[in-house]
Amino acid sequence: MLLLCLAQALSSCDAFCADLASRVAWAADVEADNPSATAGLSLSVQLNRLLAGLRGEGRGEGDGDGETRQASGEVDALELLNALRDREWDRTAGQQDAHELLATLLQAVNEELLQAERLRRQPSLTTASAGGPDCVTPEVIEVNHQPEPSSAIVSLRSPPEQRSWVRCGLTQTRVKCLDCGVRSPARLEVQHCVSLCLPTRGDVLLSNGSGPVPLQQLLLRAFRVELIRRARCDRCCQPDDDRTVTLSKTTRLARAPATLVLHLQRAAWSAAHGCPVKSGASVAYPLLLDLRQLMPASPLPSPVDTESPSSGDVDDFTSIVESHRQSIPLANKLYRLVAVIVHYGDDTSEGHYLAYRWHRPTRRWWCISDDSVLPVSESAVLALHDVYMLFYEQLVPSI
């Protein structure tokens, strides 16, 4: 079962599991304090219960019986699957990949936790009728920016705030006009999973031979500077002329996530076959991953750029940039591999998923496939082929 395979990988992510458990407990308290309304926490509760069961919580720490935990996990996974279906989710041919399921799952959990936040902020009938200052509607909380009318000119202004109650990382993107030099304010985007393109035939990454491609090279390529040609700048391009310019787009990790999930895009379009085919490129991934090259050299810059034409270009999104300015870690950029998901099969839409997870209490790796749970060496994990997803957890130094 794909859902259980994904849950096995997530269960090795201590920070994710602890954060989810605390947020679900908080949301449950909010729901209990509002008996006349409900936040609808069925999916969040089921995911938290499944991860706790796979981690052996409540059953005692130690090696334990892997098959027993796997069997009980299958029952909890079915309950989680039913909770997903209650939200009108269906695993169609268009959504069969593990990373898509992860995105769907986290988005659904995020919506439930946002609903709990709206419920917490919902005023009582007495307060609402009085029209006091605390009377804030959910719409005002969640949406604080109206979309601007469409225009043929590319705007360098920042988008509205993205609210997320699932602990994740943030990417910082800035666009600069190479003609006039104006730069956009820093744009922050929530990142649950980073997708990495695998090299194809003729790629420069394969020029040094047929050996595995280093994961660090794929990460550097994903965060390289991009050139956007034949674009229009809202400062140096007038609406009534046909002038175009070149923009540069720079993306960096503004806030390192506690849990880093990497997706290796193995589906590549084949002109010869007229359909996506699976890439068999081999990737060399380390046990310890250093992200210093992907982080800004200094803390997140102020969104008010000195080259901006006017202060009017700074919109409400400034607040989220400033709120994360002090939260950017300056040191903890080292990550340890805690789980790997492998896809076996020649077709990207079919095949079998296996989970390899690190069990911290016993300091051992385990290979999990359906009802099979087998120990495996660390060297074997680092030599896997057909790797589809990698789960890294941030190493926090002891104080």
Asked if the model's pLDDT at residue 155 lies above 50, the reply is no
Q: What is the pLDDT of residue 164?
A: 53
Start-end of H helices in the chain? 2-10, 14-32, 42-54, 66-86, 98-121, 125-130, 138-142, 215-222, 318-323, 378-382
Q: How much is the mean pLDDT over the chain? A: 72
Q: What is the pLDDT of residue 62?
A: 43
Instruction: Tell me the range of 38-42, 161-165, 166-170, 278-282 where mean pLDDT is highest.
Output: 278-282
Asked if the model's pLDDT at residue 275 lies above 70, the reply is no
Q: What's the whole-number mean pLDDT along residues 40-48?
A: 85
pTM of the model: 0.75
Tokens of 125: 């009938």
Least confident of 7-21, 58-72, 234-248, 307-321: 307-321
Domain ranges for the chain, please list them: 1-55+76-89+98-117, 192-223+256-297+330-398
Q: In whole angstroms, give the CA distance from residue 82 to residue 89.
A: 9
* Adjacent-strand bridge partners of 368: 355, 373
* Fold annotation for 192-223+256-297+330-398: Cathepsin B; Chain A (3.90.70)
* Adjacent-strand bridge partners of 358: 365
Q: What b-and-e string marks burial along 47-80, b requiring 16 or more CB atoms within 10 Å of the CB?
A: bbbbbbbbbbeeeeeeeeebeebbeebeebbebb
